[in-house]
Amino acid sequence: MADTTGETASTGPSGSLRERKKLATRRALQRVALDLVAERGYSRVTVEDIAEAAEVSPRTFFNYFPSKEAAVLGADPERVERMRQRIVAEPAEKSPLEALRSVMVEEVRQLAEELAELGGEPAGWICRMKLALVDPQLKAAQAAHMTQFEHAVVAALAERLGTDPRRDPYPVLLGSTAVGLMRAVILIWAGLGEAMALDTLTDSAFQALAHGLPPDWSWGL
């Protein structure tokens, strides 16, 4: 996940150290947020609680996350935009589905690495997020984030194809299918207890989609 403090990364050892400290603070805030929500329930946790447990000020919290919901979900609008740009920038000879497959496999590889940086089993953090989503407010925030994600995918596909998604249903159909696939794969991965690497499972899912989702597809599980 990208840092959202608005600071520009510096070159050299001091800049690298500062960026590492900022990333460590971001990870600590998300880890604490998830731990507190798992312990108390989402509605009983405040930004002040999270900041206190992470030993930072509420002002520092808001340097990294715009809201409590964002801290729990790890949502980052800048990352969504970078993903859109990467889909557009994939080689022109790739089909829309192939372009999506390449980008999404890399996205989930980064996600798994980020979850690992929280400590413990990466899939366990997904399970905690899933349990937290029983809260209506958090569920609404997650739905809004996924809608933003889907719109970015659709916009990128339309730009690659040089078409208008308001008149051509293909980008919308493919984009919504791909986002649904990603959501399902992440939940399946969490349920498997990391028996298969998330990027491998995602790649296999996109291959199955390309083949029409045959029921006898070999997932390698």
Q: Tokens in use for 94? A: 């790739």
Question: How do the pLDDT tens digits run along the chain, 221 residues long?
Answer: 333 333 333 344 445 877 878 888 988 999 999 999 988 889 899 999 999 999 999 999 999 998 999 999 887 778 899 999 999 999 999 999 999 999 999 999 988 888 888 887 878 888 888 888 888 888 898 898 899 999 999 999 999 999 999 999 999 999 999 999 999 998 888 887 667 889 999 999 999 999 998 988 877 66
- pLDDT at position 54 is 93
Which 3 state secondary structure label does DSSP give 99? Answer: helix
Question: Which domains, and CATH codes, for the chain?
Answer: 11-68 (1.10.10.60), 75-210 (1.10.357.10)
Contact (Cβ atoms closer than 8 angstroms) between residue 161 and residue 168: yes
Q: Which residues make Cβ contacts (< 8 Å) with residue 31, sequence separation at least 6? A: 118, 119
| Per-residue pLDDT at 195 | 72
Cα 216–Cα 104–Cα 73 angle in degrees, nearest 5: 110
What is the predicted pLDDT for the residue at 24? 87
pLDDT of res. 162:
95
Q: How many CB atoms lie within 10 A of CB 211?
A: 9
Q: How many residues does the chain have?
A: 221
pTM, 2 dp? 0.81
The Cα 150–Cα 166 span in angstroms is 15
